[in-house]
Structure 1
Amino acid sequence: MNRSLLVTGANGFVGKHLVALEAAGGMSDWRLQTTSAGFDLLSPDSIDAALQAGVPDAVIHLAGQTFVPEAFRDPARTLQVNLIGTLNLLQALKNRGFSGTFLYVSSGDVYGQVGELDLPIAETLAPHPRNPYAVSKVSAELLCQQWSYAEPWRIIVARPFNHIGAGQGESFVIPSMARQIIRVRRGLQPALLDVGDVDVTRDFLDVRDVIQAYLVLLEQGRNGEVYNVCSGVEQRVRDLITQMASLAGVEVELVQDATRLRRAEQRRVVGSSDKLQKETGWKPGISITETLQGVLSDWAAREL
């Protein structure tokens, strides 16, 4: 029988892709463990109730408060959900006798402001979180690492950088631009795109490649270790928007919207996944063009 895998946040962007991958027969080694109802990370009783169906062989912990502007608006709740919620999950698993592999999904955002001499960003670079979301993630990382020393589990931390794909909410830049481009193509808005600061660079990875990295880390990741999950390719956001417009067959003009500008903006981001690749053999397999086309197709299939 395939090993059971509990995925918290299964209704989120990455979680839905994991569910779809299993439905398509792409997870031959794992069987997703479903719960009769969703659980609240801030309610130990609800987590325990969700585990009554059985103790999983492994956990991918995706659930959390992930939106940076919301973290600035309500830092206390962000810390509660991402740090205390993780502690509640760990304790519930321990109480149920869990002894498998626990993958904590953190974020490349924990590195904070990084000088150009430190690019590409490797795991040896100390975190310097610059927003409450990143503080909550690095705090939960440390909690997981402490548990990796104290418990007979394998606990691994993944730090994904920007990941994109079909189904991502429009609060993120690439799906937001894709939605506007499809609206332009349909004649629903002028050929003007409201943008934030699009002359920054980011390290974008297809969500399907991210999931493959998580699955390989469940098999080969070392206990207590941290792994970057990224493409290793620096992409200027403006160039990706222009490429999407070209793929959609429209010409657009970019207009900066002050409400879309973020605080503590990092100008350039590119990560190194050398550690992940060397230890597991994982490599990105999906081109940025294929990813962007998938995002456009997703929005083209929607009512806008």
Structure 2
Amino acid sequence: MRVLITGATGMIGRVTATTLARRAEVWTTSRTPIDSPTHLVADLTELRDVERLATAVEPDAVIHLAGETGRDEAALHQGNVVATQQLLSTVSNTTRIIVVGSAAEYGDHQQDLIDETDATRPVTAYGRSKLAQTEAARSIAAKRAIQLTIARPFNVVGPDLPTSTAIGNATERIRTTARGGHTTLTVGRTDIVRDWVPVRFVADALATMALSSASSGVYNICTGVGHRLDDVFDAIARSVGVDVDLITDPTLAALPAVDCVVGAPHRLETDFGLRCAPSVDDIAAAAW
């Protein structure tokens, strides 16, 4: 089976490619070149690039990870919505598609665990763009009779997270501090509770979906376990013997943030037998 991974030079893409390589013929693409005969450089917002990619690879399945983050709504629309529309409109309708969305699509919920049938009420520009991506993918898949799966990872933790993320910034600062030393972190709200998911579990879930003829609909990639952000910071620092002081930046603290986002993992476990329930120390270990 031939699987194409878009956004393959990102953290999740790299780990997913390694995971899948043992089970399928893996091709990768991103805007960044890498030294591999099965990697093609492409900008999915450019239709000519998408057409060239689809013709060259002819994938049996696509794991669509490429996209934009940040707050620029025009860039988010191009990178998340337009790129997805062009990809699903171009590949063969026999191609199995896994579009990687986000827990940010759910937005603010009061219940303990968010499941796949819950309403989507995103509160950030990124979350709104990912929901628009999902809706566009569903529309095209329905018209073309494409087998579509929407995967919604919750807060992914792994090595080399971007420093624009809270965990990525923390690990970078702590990494440069000698064992037994002291550092400070400028942070926003640290009382928020999130469902932190090790990247290797995310990669295993995506690989399983790509290879499964039964995969369709929405799947949370989550653990069902929530941990406060400040507890995760403490565990990361403790794991390498560094003392950290947290300094709250009022500007960062004022950014839109949902108090608690924890997913219900039941569908993932029932359909694929996948389960992960990390302790806060497991999360800290996954960050390295």
Q: TM-score, normalised by structure 1?
A: 0.84
User: 1:142 corresponds to which residue?
Assistant: 135
Which of 244, 248, 251 is 1:256 aligned to? Answer: 248
Pairing 1:94-113 to 2, within 5 Å after superposition: 97-113=92-108
C-alpha contact (below 8 Å) 2:101/2:151 kept by paired residues: yes
CA distance in structure 2 between the partners assigned to 1:163 and 1:216 by the alignment: 17
Comparing 166-175 with 217-226, greater Cα deviation is found at 217-226
User: 1:41 corresponds to which residue?
Assistant: 44
- Structure 1 vs Structure 2: percent identity of aligned residues? 29
Per-residue CA distance 1:16-63 (angstroms, 9 max, x = gap): 1123335xxxx4321112456311111110111123323001000000
Across the two proteins, how many residue pairs are aligned to each other?
A: 279
User: 1:217 corresponds to which residue?
Assistant: 209
User: 2:11 corresponds to which residue?
Assistant: 13
Comparing 29-38 with 121-130, greater Cα deviation is found at 29-38
Asked if 1:238 corresponds to 2:230, the answer is yes
User: 2:25 corresponds to which residue?
Assistant: 31
Read off the aligned partner of 2:108 and give its amino acid letter: Q
| Structure 1: runs of 5 or more not aligned | 297-304
C-alpha contact (below 8 Å) 2:16/2:206 kept by paired residues: no
When residues 244 and 192 of structure 1 are mapped into structure 2, their CA distance, relative to the original with a 3 A threshold, is same
C-alpha contact (below 8 Å) 1:198/1:238 kept by paired residues: yes
User: 1:172 corresponds to which residue?
Assistant: 165
User: 2:198 corresponds to which residue?
Assistant: 206
Asked if 1:226 corresponds to 2:218, the answer is yes
C-alpha contact (below 8 Å) 2:149/2:218 kept by paired residues: yes
Comparing 37-46 with 285-294, greater Cα deviation is found at 285-294
CA distance in structure 2 between the partners assigned to 1:59 and 1:142 by the alignment: 18
C-alpha contact (below 8 Å) 1:231/1:271 kept by paired residues: yes
CA distance in structure 2 between the partners assigned to 1:291 and 1:264 by the alignment: 24
CA distance in structure 1 between the partners assigned to 2:93 and 2:49 by the alignment: 17
Q: Root-mean-square deviation (CA), in Å?
A: 2.2
C-alpha contact (below 8 Å) 1:170/1:179 kept by paired residues: yes
When residues 221 and 140 of structure 1 are mapped into structure 2, their CA distance, relative to the original with a 3 A threshold, is farther
SS at match of 2:168: helix
State the Cα distance separating 1:89 from its structure 2 match: 0.8
Higher helix content, 1 or 2 = 1
CA distance in structure 2 between the partners assigned to 1:264 and 1:227 by the alignment: 25
State the Cα distance separating 1:113 from its structure 2 match: 1.2
Runs of 4+ in 1 over 4 A off after TM superposition: 221-224, 285-288
C-alpha contact (below 8 Å) 1:148/1:223 kept by paired residues: no
Read off the aligned partner of 1:16 and give its amino acid letter: R
Q: TM-score, normalised by structure 2?
A: 0.89
CA distance in structure 2 between the partners assigned to 1:208 and 1:285 by the alignment: 13
C-alpha contact (below 8 Å) 2:157/2:167 kept by paired residues: yes
CA distance in structure 1 between the partners assigned to 2:101 and 2:242 by the alignment: 37
